[in-house]
Chains A and B, each alone.
Chain A
């Protein structure tokens, strides 16, 4: 067969596969927006569910997901960024550093439900935090850590070595150099990584199943030691555990959840592209 014809057929096949891969994503999002859009209203967003959750709104789940994301950020951001600073600025290329990298890769590969088991064993029972926002946030933090570490490290390493050399040569200490020169330059990249990590945490269900998620709560959680409703878990509950659940409410909940997640994704991409456009080096 003519090799140019082979090439044309091959390129055609690959573009078709790429199209088949991304088309469903667009369709899924449009479908959820169309199906769920009709139920979105102020009452749906800010109201409490009632009548066995078959009526009313999803406010406690929205607030719960917000608390869990915030809690995850509080623990995972300082720890993750500090670990990235260590790997990028302090660590030498030795066996210990390779072990750290291997541990990070493994953390990112552990199934989410296993994080749930770990959270149950350590935070809920051993440390006696109970089924609570605290336990769930800590569990999600450890799951998010590898994403934050690897993206932050990449951002730190992208800062040219000359910046550090100049800073040190005018008399700054190592930490001053990191704090005043390297970190500010790497900040947009770090923020992007943090948001992408938190996006994943906000959408996860399995790690919070036994560590902090509540089936139904008539009020908002009052302290970090209370359990909470959460959007992904709520969607799971109303689509599998509640019989005769009105379908519009299910689609509406899915729509709010993907809006939450997609908004974080868009913000992350915006920060990244703006930083790229403004970069001088």
Chain B
């Protein structure tokens, strides 16, 4: 009995430990498969072609610059919306709102985070883009701007929840000290609480932007999908096509193993590396902040 128990416990402990490593295994596997299917592109498509401004795979034009610029412009637009609104809402929830308002606001923001992106895209097509077309007097409502508005909404919950956490973790005594010195609550927020939480706020912004770059369905549905290189900010009001939307729209129709197939994986590889860079930077900021906090408190 005793022996059985410890054998069983031995096996379970092993299984639990193995599961613990699973995240590392999966990240490695994902990167491996993206490399395996994406790297052949570099041998099949000349670099000049790949870095050209024309994406037209049927005639073997594989320039990914228009797709990168499309992702960039939609993401910048989304950040311009998500950062002020996300931070504003986070400050309001953490510092200003009475308890009852907080209890309503937090679940609502969480709800927005849970809304499937395809639903937002659907409303974007039927409601937002026709109205924007009339309002802004554009030839089509399916533009980078429409995508930015919706992507902003998708990134807001990420920004709010992380920024609010950061503000919440600023010690009570910081605020008390500022208030005791005669600062108003508003001055305390701007000069004490926000600066103390700045690395968490920075993380919130980065992860929000990361969320926007990777979003697929909404941008595919509302940005019009025209792979044109954006050369100025006016591109915000014309159709664009992002990297994610290109993969989602075209992967279903390509033959596996073809040049087009490899190039789509190559784009996926670029996206993976971008998200890796964003997340590693964001988490190293958090680690730095923790170390600083430990130093101050000890």
Chain B residues in 8 Å Cβ range of A149:
23
Indicate if the CB atoms of A111 and B118 lie closer than 8 Å. no
Contact B24 A114 (CB under 8 A): no
Query: How many angstroms from the CA of A110 to the CA of B214 in the assembled complex?
Result: 7
A257 touches B116 (CB 8 A): yes
Are A14 and B92 closer than 8 Å at their CB atoms? Answer: yes
Tell me, in angstroms, the Cα distance from A204 to B114 when the chains sit together: 10
Main secondary structure of the interface of B (DSSP, over half): helix
- Residue A247, interface by CB 8 Å: yes
Does B58 sit within 8 A of A, measured CB to CB?
no
Q: Which of A41-49, A99-107, A221-229 touches B?
A: A99-107
Report A-chain residues with C-beta under 8 Å of the C-beta of B104.
22
Chain A 80-112 interface 0/1 with B at a Cβ cutoff of 8 Å (1 = within): 001101110111000000011111111111111
Determine the chain B residues whose CB is within 8 A of the CB of A170 once the complex forms.
none
Among residues 1 to 35 in chain B, which have CB atoms less than 8 Å away from a CB atom of chain A? Answer: 5-6, 9, 12-13, 15-17, 19-24, 26-27, 29-30, 33-34
Contact flags (1/0) for B252-295 with A, using CB distance below 8 Å? Answer: 10001000000011001001100110111011000000000000
Contact B9 A173 (CB under 8 A): yes
Contact B23 A24 (CB under 8 A): no
How far, in angstroms, from A82 to B12 measured CA to CA in the complex? 10
Determine if A203 and B213 form an interchain contact, defined as CB atoms under 8 angstroms apart. Answer: no
Q: Which residues of B contact A203 (CB under 8 A)?
A: 114-119
Could you say which of A54-62, A66-74, A160-168, A205-213 contacts chain B? A205-213
Collect the chain B residues with CB atoms within 8 Å of residue A105's CB.
279, 282-283
A109 touches B275 (CB 8 A): yes
Cβ distance A160 to chain B, nearest Cβ, rounded Å: 21
Q: Does B231 contact A (CB under 8 A)?
A: no
The winner among B85, B112, B127 for most chain A CB atoms within 10 A is B112
Main secondary structure of the interface of A (DSSP, over half): helix
A50 CB within 8 Å of chain B = no
The residue from A102, A116, A176, A240 contacting B283, defined by CB atoms under 8 A apart: A102
In the complex, which residues of chain B have a beta carbon less than 8 angstroms from the beta carbon of A53? none
Closest B-chain residue to A215, C-beta based?
B252
Q: Give residues of chain B (112-133) contacting chain A, Cβ–Cβ below 8 Å.
A: 112, 114-123, 125-127
The 8 Å CB contact of B214, one of A90, A111, A232, is A111
Say yes or no for A122: interface residue by CB 8 A criterion. Answer: yes
Q: Which of A28, A82, A106, A264 contacts B20 (CB 8 A)?
A: A82
Whether, in the assembled complex, B229 has its beta carbon less than 8 Å from a beta carbon of chain A, the answer is no
Q: Which of the listed residues B185, B211, B282, B283 has the most CB atoms from chain A within 10 Å of its own CB?
A: B283
Q: Which residue of A lies closest to B213 (CB)?
A: A111
- B84 at interface by CB-CB < 8 Å: yes
Contact B24 A99 (CB under 8 A): yes
Are B114 and A261 in contact, CB atoms less than 8 angstroms apart? yes
Q: Using a CB-CB cutoff of 8 Å, which residues 248-278 of chain A contact chain B?
A: 250, 254, 257-258, 261-262, 264-265, 269
Contact A14/B88 with A173-B9, A261-B114 known, Cβ cut-off 8 Å? yes
CB-defined contacts of A254 to chain B, threshold 8 Å: 119, 122-123
The distance from the CB of A38 to the nearest CB of chain B, in whole angstroms, is 16
In the complex, A73 Cα to B85 Cα: how many Å?
A: 34
* Shortest Cβ gap from A212 to chain B (Å): 12
Q: Which residues of A contact B217 (CB under 8 A)?
A: 205-206, 232, 236
Considering the complex, give the chain A residue whose CB is closest to the CB of B93. A18
Q: Do A24 and B97 touch (CB < 8 A)?
A: no
Q: Does the CB pair A117–B34 fall under 8 Å?
A: yes
Q: Check: A157 CB closer than 8 A to any chain B CB.
A: no
A161 to B170, CA, bound (A): 25
Chain A residue with the shortest CB-CB distance to B249? A209
Q: A29-B111, A114-B30, A205-B216 are in contact. List 13 more A-B contacts (CB 8 A).
A: A21-B86, A21-B109, A22-B105, A25-B109, A85-B16, A109-B278, A117-B34, A118-B29, A174-B9, A235-B122, A239-B122, A239-B125, A254-B119
A–B complex contacts, Cβ < 8 Å, 21 sampled: A4-B184, A15-B92, A22-B104, A24-B153, A26-B108, A28-B119, A106-B279, A107-B26, A108-B279, A111-B272, A111-B275, A112-B214, A113-B214, A174-B9, A174-B13, A196-B114, A206-B216, A209-B252, A232-B116, A235-B122, A236-B122
For the complex of A and B, the 3 pairs showing the least CB-CB separation, nearest first, are A111-B214, A86-B20, A203-B116
